[in-house]
Amino acid sequence: MMLILAILAVLSIHDVRKFIKAKESFRVIATYTFIAVLSLILGFLISIGKRPSSPAEWIQKILQAIGVIK
């Protein structure tokens, strides 16, 4: 998993460098960086065995709380 994260991190850094060179708008760089950094942090947490509760669990809990599913 760590190796895969490293590959994805390299791809992301390459893209961000291209954005800075091409003077891309702040919104694009910020959105890209936010998604990439969030993914890499989550990936790192999963790889070290500290998996946070997943969106599937949150969605299930929300649907249970409003009584849609038992």
Note the residues at the interface with another protein (CB under 8 A).
1, 4, 7-8, 11-12, 15, 19, 24-25, 27-28, 31-32, 35-36, 38-40, 42-43, 46, 51-52, 54-56, 59-60, 63, 68-69
CA count, 13 A, side-chain hemisphere, 10: 5
Query: Nearest distance from residue 15's CB to another protein, in Å?
Result: 5
Structure-block tokens of residue 36: 């990439």
With residues binned 3-state (H G I as helix, E B as strand, rest as coil), the percentages for the chain, rounded to 5, are 75, 0, 25
Query: Nearest distance from residue 19's CB to another protein, in Å?
Result: 7
